[in-house]
Amino acid sequence: MRETLGTLTRQTIPAEEFEVIVADDGSSDDTKAVVESFYGRLSVKYYLQEDQGFRAGTARNAGARLAQAPVLVFLDTGELPGPGFLQAHLAGHDGGRRRAVVGYSYGYPRKGPVEGLRDALDRMPPEEVLAHYAGDDGFLDIRHDEFVKCGFDLNARVVPWMLFWSMNCSIRAEEFWAVGGFDERFHRWGFEDMELGLRLHRNGLPFQLHRGAWAIEAPHERDWDKNESAAKQNIADLLAQYPEPVMEIGYADLTTYSLWDWEDDYRNLLAYAEGARADDVADELDVVLAKVPENQRIAIIGSGGKLPASAPPSIVMDFDRELLDQATATGGHTAHHSIGIRTPLADQSVDTVVVTSRLAGLWDRWGGDVMAEARRIGRTVLMSGS
């Protein structure tokens, strides 16, 4: 905290032109005394909330309520910004432009700890440390490869909000509160910032990466196993909150594959869905459903836009929302916008699961996951069109 506040006294913007809110998520150390030591050097307010476990989103919302400025810059303790940090964030909002600004964070462990970083930060100001590590790939932002893939244009991505991290970002207060701020139901580490980014994105807010708004993440102890476990629980909660293919893929990538596959996997799904719009599986479903005994509970994965007249009321899923709505407009069916990788259904909740040929083009990537899920939710699994 002392280091972070110290870097804020070195901004190119005069200290009297910005305010600092320290929102403390229930610490029991000398944070308050450290903050008080900056009275007179910064316009700083301190807010302490009771320790009830991890409630970073709640603390950030409380801090935002105390802020009077029109632009909110979120910065984690331990992030050490360069002198032009605030100026760069403000530039991203010039002219009242609607956007969320994503800052660049060096030093976050990318390929293991950055050798000598702690010593360098003890000896040099952030801008000299930045120059010292020029050309060191391990010092780059952990998201750097994702930034490169989109040419540093976050709006070229289909999942831009997965790179919206609260350790270094900014947004106009009116935009922040228009979507309700951080979701205070997050009581574990991870994804509360991405979920905010998702709501901002769906509210029409573009994202801008501003490399001038940089900070260096000071080394500190992390419980990676605990954080990973918490993140997996949170992504499961997010999938329950947003039961749709984009979150289904995020769930699968984080829990089984790699979070960094999320963008490419969802982009590939969107492209495949567009090409598969004309795929009609009603005839193959008619054939396979004739083999299912009467009065069974049935789930269909990959319905397309039309079900056969013979289909009894069923749980129907498809990755194309529009086609799913067409298929379930009549017939008493229950619709779920889902690929079938991870569905909202309980274990063994249906008698028969039918997986159609609409998933054929997804099979190399997701076939194993779809089959595992089909076996989880159903007692019998049938493949139609095969």
Does residue 328 share a domain with residue 202?
Answer: no
Residue finishing a domain among 199, 223, 247 = 223
Instruction: Tell me: do 299 and 216 sit in the same domain.
Output: no
Q: Looking at the structure, do residues 287 and 377 belong to the same domain, yes or no?
A: yes
For residue 352, is it within any domain?
yes
Identity of the amino acid at 302: G
Asked if residue 272 is part of any domain, the answer here is: no
199 and 343 in a single domain? The answer is no
Cα separation of 107 and 112, whole Å?
10
43 is a domain residue: yes
CATH number of the domain that residue 320 is part of: 3.40.50.150
Last residue of some domain: 178, 196, 223? Answer: 223
- The answer to whether residues 26 and 147 belong to one domain is yes
Inside any domain, residue 258:
no
The answer to the question of residue 261 being in a domain is no
Q: Give the per-residue pLDDT at 97.
A: 83
pLDDT score for 111: 65
Count of domains in the chain? 2
Indicate if 40 and 177 belong to the same structural domain: yes
Q: Examine residue 250 and state whether it is found in any structural domain, yes or no.
A: no
Statement to judge: residues 306 and 158 lie in one domain:
no
What was the pLDDT predicted at 191?
87
Residues 285 and 214 in one domain: no
Q: Are residues 19 and 137 in the same domain?
A: yes
| Domain shared by 79 and 160, yes or no | yes
CATH number of the domain residue 88 falls in: 3.90.550.10
Give the model's pLDDT for residue 59: 92
Each residue's pLDDT tens digit in the chain (386 positions)?
Answer: 999 999 999 999 999 999 999 998 888 788 999 999 999 999 999 998 888 878 888 999 999 999 999 999 999 999 999 999 999 999 999 987 899 999 999 998 766 789 999 999 999 999 999 999 999 999 999 999 999 999 999 999 999 999 999 999 999 999 999 999 999 988 777 789 999 999 999 999 999 999 999 999 998 777 777 878 888 888 999 999 999 999 999 999 999 889 999 999 999 999 999 999 999 999 999 999 999 999 999 999 999 999 999 999 999 999 999 999 999 999 999 999 999 999 999 999 999 999 999 999 999 999 999 999 999 999 999 999 77
In a domain, 270, yes or no: no
Residues 151 and 300 in one domain: no
Range of the domain at 37: 2-223
Whole-model pTM: value is: 0.93
Model pLDDT, residue 231: 85
If asked whether residues 42 and 156 sit together in one domain, one would say yes
Residue 264 lies in a domain: no
